[in-house]
Amino acid sequence: MGLFDGKKGLILGVANDRSIAWAIAEMIMAEGGQCGFTHLPDRVGDEKKKNRRRVEKCIEKSEHPENAKFLVPVNVQDDEQIAGLMETAKSEFGQIDFLLHSVAFADRGDLQRDTIETSREGFKMAMEISAYSLIAVCNAARPLLAENAAVACMSYYGGEKCVPGYNVMGICKAALEASTRYLAYDLGPRGIRVNAISAGPLKTLAGSAAGVGEMLKMYEHMAPLSRNITHSEVGKTGLFMLSDLSSGITGEILHIDGGYNIMGSPGRLIDAMGT
């Protein structure tokens, strides 16, 4: 008997096998959950369909490929494509019990310059994709969400405190976390929960753009556990937050970062710098 037996849901944001969304999806499928996946639309003329193929490879190599029920391209800036995703989900599942939003993007140029120099167009794009898309997707999914369904999104500590280098994305994550709380209120009367998972740095496609290498070194010294987290640990956390085990939790930002967020000083990093 799996934790997700009989449950069906959507996974938005798998880019490759190092994606946090994939780590969570693997756990869900292993527990019997049926998943519908999205991928970034491929560029016109890309005969190899690289974005789609990356996600297909993840599914093919998984231990439970039979629980991956569909894979469709979705640009979260396009309401028609979001509506199309929900039509596919309705046709395949009828209703959905869980929804994972793991979508974020900012222009690399804006990430590499000081926040004060963020371009107007870059800010609007980053905010639309990284924060507003959660609202848009939840709104479109409302008719399909089962009573007591669960929604989770992915955040980072840079949305709470200033993390140099994270820059405009930190502002987007702050908006995403605020959206989580307001959506939790709006959907609460139906028993639908909305939470955010604030994960420490991991080697992912998105992480590479945010300078995750330096963050990994710092977390190893500063976090109370004196190490970095793993994809598996985030996968298990996502599994918990989207399951009935977390039925009394909503509007929360759950940190999984080895305790880094509790620190008020550099801790053991001072010792490391002295050696």
Read off the CATH number of the domain in which 148 is found.
3.40.50.720
Q: Which domain holds residue 136?
A: 8-203+230-258
- What's the rounded mean pLDDT across residues 118-131? 98
Is residue 216 in some structural domain? no
Share of the chain above pLDDT 90, in %: 86
Is residue 263 in some structural domain? no
Task: Assign 203 a pLDDT band (cuts: 50, 70, 90).
Answer: confident
Residue tagged active-site, from 157, 166, 219, 260: 166
Is residue 78 in some structural domain? yes
Place of tokens 């992915």: 154
Interacting residues of 152 by C-beta distance below 8 A, sequence separation 6+ = 24, 98, 99, 100, 101, 194, 195, 196, 197, 238, 241, 242
- The count of domains in the chain is 1
Average per-residue pLDDT for the chain: 94
Share of the chain above pLDDT 70, in %: 96
Residue tagged active-site, from 156, 157, 219, 260: 156
Checking if the pLDDT of 213 tops 80, the result is: no
State pTM to two decimals.
0.94
Checking if the pLDDT of 147 tops 90, the result is: yes
Is residue 215 in some structural domain? no
Is residue 118 in some structural domain? yes
Is residue 219 in some structural domain? no
Query: Residue 110 corresponds to which tokens in the numbers above?
Result: 């804006």
Task: Check residue 29 and give its pLDDT.
Answer: 98
Is residue 126 in some structural domain? yes
* Angstrom distance (rounded) from CA 30 to CA 17: 16
Q: What does the buried/exposed string (b/e) look like for 7-20 if buried means 16 or more CB atoms within 10 Å of the residue's CB?
A: bbbbbbbbbeebbb
Checking if the pLDDT of 20 tops 70, the result is: yes
Place of tokens 């019997």: 32
Task: Assign 46 a pLDDT band (cuts: 50, 70, 90).
Answer: confident
With H, G, I as helix, E, B as strand and everything else as coil, classify residue 34.
strand
Checking if the pLDDT of 120 tops 90, the result is: yes
Is residue 76 in some structural domain? yes
The residue with greater pLDDT, 240 or 267, is: 240
Task: Assign 244 a pLDDT band (cuts: 50, 70, 90).
Answer: very high
Percent helix, strand and coil across the chain, each rounded to 5? 50, 15, 35
- Is 166 annotated in the active site? yes
Task: Check residue 274 and give its pLDDT.
Answer: 62
Instruction: Let me know: does 259 contact 218? Beta carbons within 8 Å.
Output: no
- Is 185 annotated in the active site? no
Task: Check residue 1 and give its pLDDT.
Answer: 83
Q: What does the buried/exposed string (b/e) look like for 64-81 if buried means 16 or more CB atoms within 10 Å of the residue's CB?
A: beebbebbbbbebeeeee
